[in-house]
Amino acid sequence: MDIIRLLPDSVANQIAAGEVIQRPASVVKELLENAIDAEAKEILLIVKESGKKRIEVIDDGNGMTEADARMAFERHATSKIQGADDLFKIRTKGFRGEALASIAAVAQVELQTRHQEREVGTELDIEGSRVLRQEASSHSNGTRFIVKNLFYNVPARRKFLKSDQVEMRHIIEEFQRVALIHPDIGFRLMKDGNELFDLRPGSHRQRIVGVMGTAYDQRLVPVEEHTELVNVSGFIGKPEFARKRRGEQYLFLNQRFIKSPYLHNAICKAYDELLPAGAHPSYFLHLMVDPAKVDINIHPTKTEVKFEDERSIYAIVSSAIRQSLGRFNIAPSLDFEHETGFDVPPLSQGQAIRIPDIQVDPDFNPFENGPSKTQQGDREYSYSNRSSNKGSWEQLYEVGRLLEKEDKRITESAERADADVVPEEEEESIQVSSPKGAWVHPLGSRYLLTSVLSGALVIDIQRAHERILYERFIHSLALQGGQSQQMLFPQTLELSAKQMESMLIHADDLKHLGFDLEPFGPRSIKVNGVPAEEHITDAVEHLRDWVDDLGDDVTGKSPGQELAKGMARRMRYSGGHVLQEMEMRDLVDRLFACEQPYHCPSGHPTVMNIDIEDLDRKFGHSI
């Protein structure tokens, strides 16, 4: 019995849609790219409920005839290529002919379009790959796509979509990728009736600033390099603005966004010795390569490519960035041609060069008794009688011995005072469970040394403080009421659209941790208060970093815990912070009051025990 049969078109389209349409952002990408291929100069994107309910793209491009409007929804129907050879000279965004067919297979689609040479337009309704209606209509030049109820007929796919805020972040990311590389086209983005972007045509630098925020205008360094193999243009970020998390790396090939770990490594290589370990620079780079020397047909989303001569491109990209960093004095440099020995102030007019008159008393000996004097000009310098200081250096050892005895006396006195306060029967238990009440001494700038009954403990100051802050923040989240310290002068934090969405995602957690925030425009936040912590510095800048570091997906993690961990890591004592005696004792007491005092939130140890028996073995004493 034959068991192999052809799948129905509707099922085949849904399977194909799974490769191309993964989430609402995929629909946005395909529709925006189609509008650009249609030579649109103004594009409007309207999103409702993060694209799950409605995605609308309106453009003023060439439009389609009634026949083309119907044919566009067939699989592998395209106007971009005619034969296999055309795959190696593609300069358009789309060419597979899968996008509209895939969208129509998993959504309800309305199309309104009119070709610029036709007087009458066309309307088309499609639902689950089935054409419900097609008729003539009056419509302005261009095309209007409306995609409603995405994955309405594939509930399993719809169930696995993320929250509205996360899906909106993905939409914004796709919008930014398209808008950044087309500064000559006007773009607008409306979300639930609110305008997030209104980008007017302009230069590449103006577009970057419009997308990422006005603060980026001072962070950009231009890059320009033209070779026979590749042309490199765009901007890179200054090293001091590099971040530990990726997210501001935009690489384009022939006006198409791509992902290339190989070229990312080339860019980072150019920043050698300018960035701390683990930091990633920002870049907005555009590569122009002969389409015949690159293969973009290796992935359905066309974000992965293969170069014919990738090693040469690697070297050219890295060299171009190095030159830009050097040309604009970003990289440190030394001027070996400048002779500083000739940096002598000029003589005033009429002044003659005079050799200095130096007189020396050859009989002067600072270790001998008796007066001595030397004369220079009209001034006389006298050395008064003094006792001989021969052998005085030997007294330094005596002073050291006296200081050592005094320090021992003070320590014994403090221990006796502690013994008077703590009952004798409780002293042992306190020293075993916690070094509270014991002596505490700094050990360098990073560690504390404190005593316990069995020996001594070495405490990592930064990790201990991080553990203390983390548990405090976790308790604040659990109680939903962190203490806030009001700022004398509230600060306004300007964010990118993606950062703003992250802020909305974690608004409640930030409030519970002690941040007092309020919206201040479509892409700005007013910071009225920060968590009450006596050592917090640069809280507003930390807030931007925390939101950035959280990322898009937190599957299997608690967003609040991740935020608390990031806050504790940044608010802990800095490496050069010097603790006073009371601060050291307070740190030790608070550490051992924690539920998990022996490890920081990242799992690294906070304390190390020095056992007396181990010391005896190291010194060779018999036990």
The answer, yes or no, to whether residue 342 has pLDDT greater than 60, is no
The answer, yes or no, to whether residue 379 has pLDDT greater than 60, is no
The answer, yes or no, to whether residue 222 has pLDDT greater than 50, is yes
Residue 387: pLDDT band (50, 70, 90) is very low
Q: What is the pLDDT of residues 488-539, one digit of tens each?
A: 788 887 777 777 777 777 777 788 877 888 888 777 888 888 877 655 556 6
**Parallel, antiparallel, or unpaired for β 524-531 and 516-519?**
antiparallel
295 vs 622 pLDDT, higher one: 295
H helix and E strand count, the chain: 18, 24
Give span(s): CATH 3.30.1540.20, the chain: 427-623
What lies within 8 Å, CB to CB, of 330 at 6+ separation is 221, 238, 239, 274, 324
Q: What is the pLDDT of residues 250-307, one digit of tens each?
A: 999 988 898 888 899 999 889 887 887 778 899 999 999 988 888 776 555 667 788 8
What pLDDT, on the 0 to 100 scale, is given for residue 564?
80
Give span(s): CATH 3.30.230.10, the chain: 212-327
Give span(s): CATH 3.30.565.10, the chain: 9-202
Residue 360: pLDDT band (50, 70, 90) is confident
Highest mean pLDDT among 178-182, 343-347, 589-593: 178-182
Q: What is the pLDDT of residues 418-469, one digit of tens each?
A: 444 434 443 333 343 444 556 788 887 788 888 777 678 889 988 999 899 8
What pLDDT, on the 0 to 100 scale, is given for residue 128?
85
User: What CATH code is assigned to 427-623?
Assistant: 3.30.1540.20
CATH topology (fold) of 212-327: Ribosomal Protein S5; domain 2 (3.30.230)
The answer, yes or no, to whether residue 136 has pLDDT greater than 70, is yes
What pLDDT, on the 0 to 100 scale, is given for residue 386?
45
The answer, yes or no, to whether residue 67 has pLDDT greater than 70, is yes
Amino acid identity, position 473: F
Q: What is the pTM of this model?
A: 0.67
d(CA 524, CA 544): 11
d(CA 30, CA 302): 11
Q: Residue 378 in 3-state DSSP?
A: coil
**Parallel, antiparallel, or unpaired for β 121-127 and 249-253?**
unpaired
Least confident of 54-63, 295-304, 368-377, 481-490: 368-377
Task: Print burial letters for 54-83: b (CB count within 10 Å at least 16), e (below 16).
Answer: bbbbbbbbbbbbbeebbebbebeebeeeee
Q: Which tokens in the block code for residue 369?
A: 């008794």
Q: What is the pLDDT of residues 290-299, one digit of tens each?
A: 888 887 765 5
Task: Name the CATH architecture for the domain at 9-202.
Answer: 2-Layer Sandwich (3.30)
| Mean pLDDT estimate for the chain | 77
What lies within 8 Å, CB to CB, of 170 at 6+ separation is 23, 24, 25, 552
Is residue 359 within 8 A of residue 375, CB to CB? The reply is yes
